[in-house]
Amino acid sequence: MRVPLTTRDFLDRAELVYGDRIGIVDEPTQPAPSLGGLSYREVARRGRALQAALDELGIAEGERVAIVSHNAARLLEVLLAVPASGRVAVPINFRLSPEEVEYIVGHCGARVLFVDPELESSLKNVQAEHRFGTGEEYEQLLRFDVEPRPWAEPDEDATATINYTSGTTARPKGVQMTHRNLWINAVTFGMHMQVSDRDVYLHTLPMFHCNGWGLPYTMAGLGAQQIVLRKVDGAEILRRVEEHGVTIMAGAPAVWNAVLEAAADWEGEIPGRDKVRIVVAGAPPPSKTIARVEAELGWEFNQIYGLTETAPLLTINRPRAEYDDLEPEERAKRLSRAGVPALGTRMSISESGEVLAQGNTCWPATGRTPTPRPRRWRAAGSTPETAARSVTAATSRSPTARRT
C-alpha cells in the first residue's frame, strides 16, 4: 500500500493522540488579540474553519495563500491548515521592504493575503484579491458552521509551501517545497533531535524562515507543546524557559549570544540547565561560544547545516557519547562543524569544490511552475567551508551528485 505523505498527517495525529493537550501557547503581548493556550483539538478545529473560509472565497486546490506576520499562533495555523487542504501557503519575511513583499505576493500569484496588524501601515499598498488582517478580520473569516471540502486527490508531490529567499543580491527566489519534502524533513529532524511528547518547544526561530525549519510539523505530529515567541529577547527567552519548562529551541548564533548576555544579569540558577537543547544554524559559531553555552547555560548545543532549498535539513552535528569524556574546549571544537549528512541525505565535494547533495528534502522547483530537476546542486549557503570540511570527513570525494 502506498499512502501519500502530506503535511495533514501531523495535525491529524496531534488531534487524534493529543487532542486534549495544550498544543500552542500564543504570544500574550501582540497587536492582535492573543489566542492564549489552544489544545491540539482546538487548533485542528480552527484549521478546518480556515479551510472552510477559503472554500467560501473560492480558493481552489493549488492556489496560493500568503501571510506576512511575526511569530503568532495564527501563522502556525496557516502553515498547518492551508497545505493540508491542497492549497499552497506562502509565509513571507516580515523584515522585507514593502516593494519586495509586493513582488512576492504578485510573483507567487497569491489570491489571499494575511497581514500582521503591526505591519498594516507599512504594507498598506500591498494588495491581493482577498486581504485580511491577522487579528479580528481573521477571526471573522473563520467558518465553524460548515465542514471544509476534503482535498480531492492528496498528492505528496504537490507544492505545499513556497518559501522566498531574502533577495540580497537579486529578486527574491521562490522555492516550491512539496509535501514529501516537508514530511521527510519534519520526521528526520524529529528523529535526529529525539523529539517526544515530553518536549516543550519555544519558537525562537521565525516561522516564515523555511517554515520554522519544519519544526512546527515535527512538534505537532509528536504532541510537543509549542510556545510562540513574537520577538527575540535574551531575557525574555530565559523567562519563557522558566515559565513553560522549555526543553528545545532553534535559531541563529545571534539568538544564543543574546541569551548569554542576558544570563549574566539573571538572578538565580539559569532555567533549563541540563534539560534544554538548542539547534543552531545560519553561521558557524566560534567554539568559545559553544563552550559558553554548555558551561554558563548548561544547555546542549546541536548544529545543523541546510538551505531553504532543502527544507532545510542537510547535515547535523549532535554531541555523541564519544564526546562525553573530552575536555570542554575539544568538545566545543568538534561541535563547531556543521556535522554529517542526515538520514537519507548523501553529500559529496566536487573536484571544483562545490558541496553537492542528494535527498528527498531537496527542492524540485523554483518560481510558480515546476522546472526540470537539475542533476547537480550546489549548497552555496552561509557556511560552505564549514560544510565542506564536515562533508569531506564523512563522504568520499566525488565530482557528481544528484538531488532527488
List Cβ neighbours of 133 (8 Å cut-off, separation of 6 or more). Answer: 32, 114, 115, 116, 117, 120
On the CB side of 171, how many CA atoms lie within 13 Å of its CA? 13
Same fold, 8-203 and 232-394: yes
- Residue 389 pLDDT exceeds 80: no
pLDDT band at 368 (very low <50, low <70, confident <90, very high): low
| Contact between 89 and 161 (Cβ < 8 Å) | yes
**What's the pLDDT score for residue 245?**
98
- Residue 388 pLDDT exceeds 60: no
- Residue 395 pLDDT exceeds 80: no
- Residue matched to cell numbers 472565497: 57
pLDDT per position as a tens digit, 350-362: 888 888 899 999 9
Percent over 70 (pLDDT), the chain = 89
pLDDT band at 365 (very low <50, low <70, confident <90, very high): low
Q: Which H helix or E strand runs over 106?
A: helix 98-108
pLDDT band at 169 (very low <50, low <70, confident <90, very high): low
**What's the pLDDT score for residue 168?**
63
- Residue 371 pLDDT exceeds 60: no
Topology annotation, domain 232-394: Rossmann fold (3.40.50)
Residue predicted with more confidence, 199 or 282: 199
Residue predicted with more confidence, 129 or 397: 129
Question: What is the separation, in whole angstroms, between the first and last Cα of the chain?
Answer: 22
Q: Enumerate the domain spans of the chain.
A: 8-203, 232-394
- Residue 375 pLDDT exceeds 70: no
SS3 252: coil
Distance CA 85, CA 251 (A): 29
Percent over 90 (pLDDT), the chain = 84
| Contact between 309 and 341 (Cβ < 8 Å) | no
List Cβ neighbours of 251 (8 Å cut-off, separation of 6 or more). Answer: 204, 205, 232, 278, 279, 280, 282
- Closest Cα to residue 224, out of 201, 247, 193? 201
CATH classification code of 8-203? 3.40.50.12780
How confident is the model over 286-307, as a mean pLDDT? 96
DSSP secondary structure string for all residues of 173-234: -EEEEEHHHHHHHHHHHHHHTT--TT-EEEE-S-TTTHHHHTHHHHHHHTT-EEEE-SS--H
- Residue 385 pLDDT exceeds 60: no
On the CB side of 58, how many CA atoms lie within 13 Å of its CA? 3
Residue predicted with more confidence, 380 or 315: 315
Rounded to 5 degrees, φ, ψ at 49 are: -65, -35
| Contact between 139 and 33 (Cβ < 8 Å) | yes
**What's the pLDDT score for residue 400?**
34
SS3 130: strand
- Residue 179 pLDDT exceeds 70: yes
The secondary structure of the chain in percent helix, strand, coil, rounded to multiples of 5, reads 35, 20, 45
pLDDT per position as a tens digit, 42-99: 999 999 999 999 999 999 999 999 999 999 999 999 999 999 999 999 999 999 999 9
- Residue 289 pLDDT exceeds 60: yes
- Residue 40 pLDDT exceeds 50: yes
**What's the pLDDT score for residue 363?**
83
Q: Could you tell me the pTM of the whole model?
A: 0.92
| Contact between 329 and 231 (Cβ < 8 Å) | no
pLDDT per position as a tens digit, 308-328: 999 999 999 999 999 999 999
Strands 159-164 and 174-178: antiparallel
- Residue 396 pLDDT exceeds 80: no
